[in-house]
Chain A
């Protein structure tokens, strides 16, 4: 054996070195939480909101998508950064900084809003399948079983692959948008011209659009996923890119939903109440393909969100109460995690099957809770992210701070409106 020090050539030629293929695979493997979390925005509730926005106000609300995208990027990036730098979930950080009481009550509120949202997702699944003639007594148990099996039997990687696949199917709305052939010139014009009205219903719609895009639970989920994935500071730029593209894509889908409904339902003055109405109403106006694409899009979104929301509930209940929380652990190692997950699905799906279930009221209540909690979470996040002891030199720069604070203030104002307006009406 030679006594010469090892030369780089010997190491380079050794079969164990990482090649370019491995690096690219690593890049794709690291992207994931951002796209998935953003896409879940477009869940049954989201699609309903966008469809209603398009049907009632045409293209008038398109402009709001741009500031919303910006705000979403900033907020999610902050969570991604905190997750990568501290290696801890958002509820862990809140607990360590603000104490057990606050975290506990926050957790309760988030669990309630999540349950409400989960119910909405299963409602979306049954509604979309009803268009194809399948009774909800079949579709709900089957979809609940599928969603449950996906996570309980899967690992983080396998579950993520399925979710990423679901994200691709959102293209259904984009395809629909091009089938319709709207007046693209007018669309572009409306996109950059803010229209505002003090009409209560308009404001509620606006708040709904904002609230459905920047949901509090999403921030917890995003940060937990990043930590679960084991991303380090060195991987930060991948995480950031992931978040930015996710935020843009989700609003692109929202854009197309609004455009489709504006160009068909609004033009012909059709009133709709739910996303299912939207899909059905498209049939005479835009042809059966568009109608099916819409229904399929709703199914995809609802199924997808129905898997993620209970997961997010499980994550922060376990983080909050100090239980093991990770998809990679087996049932025995993290029993409470899987128990909470299963219970969320059971309640979310089971309640839809009950006759006369006041779904709309529950969803409204859930939206209001969302609106109240969001500014609180944003303020916590801003305090945490500006803490040098916690973040080192990854604290917020002045631009991020300005945008984030502005978003928080706007959200507080809008939330006040949201709570006050049902009282006024």
Chain B
């Protein structure tokens, strides 16, 4: 394409007149259509609008000869038009992206698209970046030059562009014929669950539900744990009870219990029935405790072993079960009645010889809490002893659960990290 610049903006070409080689005006450029791909999607064709009634037609890209500098010129004189249905599942940039919200999976934020940045190389045009900056907005409303002059005169400052590379963009809009590529889900699962939760909270309800439903079960569970309880509830109600059971299976038992207690008994019942037996039992037990006490805050996902276990066996158990445990830093030692005997930290386990028995190395000086201790009591213990998790026992000293430091932080400083 005979044009020096390699990049251009979508806003620069929308509305440009489209001519045949003989100079007959065919219409104006309305939109560009690209393939759906993860990296720099190629433009497949364009949509032009004709006449006052805005009749739209599709022109494949090989019918386009030049885009710049003045007008768009086609290759042939005959009409090269196709109906819009030719667009199929491909992406119409203006309709799907311009002025819409997208998720920036690199910066973990929701942004609104002000403009699109495209690259020309050989005869191919590719979508390179999404422009979310103020400069892009000024360009759209035609104020770019004015703002440049004003800022230059006032502050000697040039407003920078703010681009997001397409490979970090997760689109939200759903086109009727659109079947989302499976690959694009990995973009979202790269995000930290807390960031994903923030993003979901920022979105409108439809977009939020769409994203949540597209997540795999593990990611959904992790993200759900970090979300605001009101939103947790509304999200879990949008999935089938079977999927809800699967998701709750992946969640920490205490979070699952919190979520279930906010649902109606019938729904909660159904979800519990679909869950794994052991998990369901843990959750049921946690549900019997008051939310504000140690019992309601603890998790049942920890490793408890008998004193006769060897260090090697313990480490093996940690390895195999580690991914589903909430507590890995400490391993708790109990007798056959589940009475808490002591605790051994992972540091100790790694330092000891594999054939040692746990009973030779565990710490018998116990720091623990009672099931009905409240948050302040627990905070005191954390602050005083500086440990990462507190075991929770009942009156007979049976180990019932363990409280993570993270839980206490959420209670003491709920406004942080929101």
Contacts and interface: CB of A to CB of B under 8 A. Distances in A.
Interface string A141-173: 000000000000000000000000000000000
Interface in A77-97: 86-88, 95-96
Given A6-B284, A88-B204, A96 B100 contact: yes
B334 to A, nearest CB: 16
B206 interface: yes
A3 B285 CA distance: 12
Contacts of B260: 11
A16 B273 contact: no
Contact of A87 (B205, B281, B287): B205
Contacts, number: 86
Contacts of B205: 86-87, 232-233
A98 B119 CA distance: 26
Contacts of A425: none
Contacts of A12: 265
Interface string A1-28: 1110111101110111110000000000
A86 B204 contact: yes
B284 A10 contact: yes
Interface in B231-290: 231, 234, 258, 260-262, 265-266, 268-269, 272-273, 277, 280-281, 284-285, 287-290
Contacts of B277: 3
A212 B398 CA distance: 69
Interface of B is mostly: helix
Given A232-B234, A322-B111, A17 B206 contact: no
A350 interface: no
A96 B114 CA distance: 11
A183 B262 CA distance: 55
Contacts of B98: 99-100
A5 B269 contact: yes
Q: How large is the interface on A (under 10, 10 to 19, 20 to 34, 35 or more residues)?
A: 20 to 34
A15 B269 contact: no
Interface stretch (B120-128, B133-141, B188-196): B133-141
A230 interface: yes
B230 interface: yes
Most buried by A among B99, B258, B266: B99
B296 interface: yes
A1 B140 contact: no
B206 A96 contact: no
A16 B284 contact: no
B115 to A, nearest CB: 9
B359 interface: no
Nearest to A323: B134
A361 interface: no
B291 interface: yes
Interface residues of B, number: 41
A104 B272 contact: no
B262 to A, nearest CB: 8
A321 interface: yes
A101 interface: yes
A3 B272 CA distance: 12
B65 interface: no
B132 interface: yes
A17 B112 CA distance: 40
B230 A321 contact: no
A17 B288 CA distance: 11
Given A100-B99, A100-B137, A8 B290 contact: no
Interface string A64-87: 000000000000000000000011
Contacts of A2: 281
Most buried by B among A88, A105, A322: A322
Contacts of B142: 101
B92 to A, nearest CB: 14
Contact of A16 (B112, B141, B234, B261): B261
Most buried by A among B206, B285, B291: B206
A101 B285 CA distance: 58
B291 A16 contact: yes
Contact of A86 (B206, B261, B280, B281): B206
B332 to A, nearest CB: 18
Contact of B287 (A16, A105, A322): A16
Contact of A5 (B230, B234, B272): B272
Interface string B307-344: 00000000000000000000000000000000000000
Contacts of A10: 284, 287-288
A5 B266 CA distance: 12
Contacts of A105: 141
A17 B261 CA distance: 6
B114 A322 contact: yes
A16 B296 contact: yes
Contacts of B273: 5-6
A252 to B, nearest CB: 34
A233 B230 CA distance: 13
A230 B137 contact: no
Nearest to A18: B262
A388 B111 CA distance: 25
A48 to B, nearest CB: 35
B350 to A, nearest CB: 33
B290 A11 contact: no
Interface in A299-329: 321-322
A96 B99 contact: yes
B322 to A, nearest CB: 24
Contacts of B100: 96
A86 B172 CA distance: 14
A96 B134 CA distance: 17
Nearest to B263: A11
B206 A6 contact: no
12 contacts: A1-B281, A1-B285, A2-B281, A3-B281, A5-B269, A6-B273, A10-B288, A11-B261, A16-B258, A16-B287, A96-B99, A101-B140
Given A1-B285, A100-B137, 9 more contacts: A6-B268, A87-B205, A87-B206, A99-B140, A100-B98, A100-B140, A101-B142, A104-B140, A321-B137
In the A-B complex, the 4 residue pairs with the smallest Cβ-Cβ separation, listed nearest first, are A87-B204, A16-B261, A87-B205, A100-B140
